[in-house]
């Protein structure tokens, strides 16, 4: 019997910070971390080289802080530090599950995480380590979606996976409108033209320029990360000029 294997050599997986909340309104759920680490271990065991970008919205979101009157640059810097905290938590969970991993941060936190250096990230990936990219892009006014697209291009990922709470891209918010229509496939231009806010425009534009496929799927469905890595058709695929 043939052992299952990955359909890709190298991937970048974007996770939202809110995914770590569990049933809470703030913080990091140890139970969610444990389940997520087990899912990632299963996918990593298929032989894929894996980079991860995680948001910080479960702790602090820069845009929300700015909306409440904070200086946007300062608020975004706080959000970047929140992603470092999440990456450290996920690193701990992965190590407890026997998965070798490293945190590389675009924001220097000396003595806590390694600074992001592209050559160092590539070495870790080539040695079979999961690399958690923290600190966003290192600059304010950019989201972790943009950081995910940027890191995917820098490491030469074959695909960018965005794991969310819903099973793909819809024409309206499916959590508010049960009649929302899900797309199986979209072009980059259609995502931008329709204003489908599954990723910010800068991230979609980066992916379009490099012809980097983007797959949006539900991470809450057990086994979906493994299925995505194996190349199963799940969620919504964004690529090229093919329109829905």
Is residue 138 annotated as involved in ligand binding? yes
Is residue 136 annotated as involved in ligand binding? no
Instruction: Report the distance separating Cα 56 and Cα 78, nearest Å.
Output: 9
Cα–Cα distances (Å) from 72 to 59, 68, 84, 139, in that order, read 16, 10, 19, 11
Is residue 61 annotated as involved in ligand binding? yes
Taking 3-state DSSP, the helix, strand and coil percentages for the chain, each rounded to the nearest 5, stand at 40, 20, 45
Is residue 164 annotated as involved in ligand binding? yes
Instruction: Report the distance separating Cα 207 and Cα 200, nearest Å.
Output: 11
Is residue 76 annotated as involved in ligand binding? yes
Is residue 127 annotated as involved in ligand binding? no
Number of helices followed by number of strands (H, E) in the chain: 8, 11
Question: Which residues touch 209 (CB under 8 Å, ≥6 apart)?
Answer: none
Is residue 60 annotated as involved in ligand binding? no
Instruction: Report the distance separating Cα 141 and Cα 1, nearest Å.
Output: 50
Is residue 137 annotated as involved in ligand binding? yes
Cβ atoms within 10 Å of 59's Cβ, excluding its own = 20
Cα–Cα distances (Å) from 22 to 35, 126, 199, in that order, read 11, 33, 22
Select from 130, 148, 122, 55 the least CA-distant residue to 91: 130
Is residue 143 annotated as involved in ligand binding? yes
User: Tokens representing 212?
Assistant: 């980097």
Is residue 15 annotated as involved in ligand binding? yes
Is residue 142 annotated as involved in ligand binding? yes
Which residue positions form the known binding site for UMP? 56, 76, 137-144
List, as residue ranges, the binding site for ATP: 14-17, 57, 61, 164, 170, 173
Which residues line the annotated binding site? 14-17, 56-57, 61, 76, 137-144, 164, 170, 173
């Amino acid at each position: 019997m043939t052992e299952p294997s990955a359909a890709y050599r190298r991937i970048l997986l974007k996770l939202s910070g809110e995914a770590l909340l569990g049933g809470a309104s703030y913080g990091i759920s140890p139970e969610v971390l444990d389940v997520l680490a087990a899912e990632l271990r299963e996918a990593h065991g298929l032989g894929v080289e894996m980079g991860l970008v995680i948001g910080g919205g479960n702790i602090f979101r820069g845009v929300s802080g700015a909306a409440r009157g904070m200086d946007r640059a300062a608020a975004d810097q706080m959000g970047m530090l929140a992603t470092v905290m999440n990456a450290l938590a996920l690193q701990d969970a992965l190590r407890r599950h026997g998965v070798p991993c490293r945190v590389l941060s675009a924001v220097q936190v000396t003595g806590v995480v390694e600074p992001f250096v592209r050559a160092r990230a590539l070495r870790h990936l080539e040695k079979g380590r999961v690399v958690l990219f923290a600190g966003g892009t290192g600059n304010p006014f950019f989201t972790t979606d943009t950081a995910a697209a940027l890191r995917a291009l820098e490491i030469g990922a074959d695909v960018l996976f965005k794991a969310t709470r819903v099973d793909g891209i819809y024409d309206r918010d499916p959590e508010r409108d049960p009649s929302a229509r899900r797309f199986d496939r979209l072009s980059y231009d259609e995502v931008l033209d329709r204003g489908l806010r599954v990723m910010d425009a800068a991230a979609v534009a980066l992916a379009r320029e490099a012809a980097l496929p983007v797959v949006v799927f539900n991470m809450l469905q057990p086994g979906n990360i493994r299925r995505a890595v194996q190349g199963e058709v799940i969620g919504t695929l964004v690529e090229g000029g093919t329109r829905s």
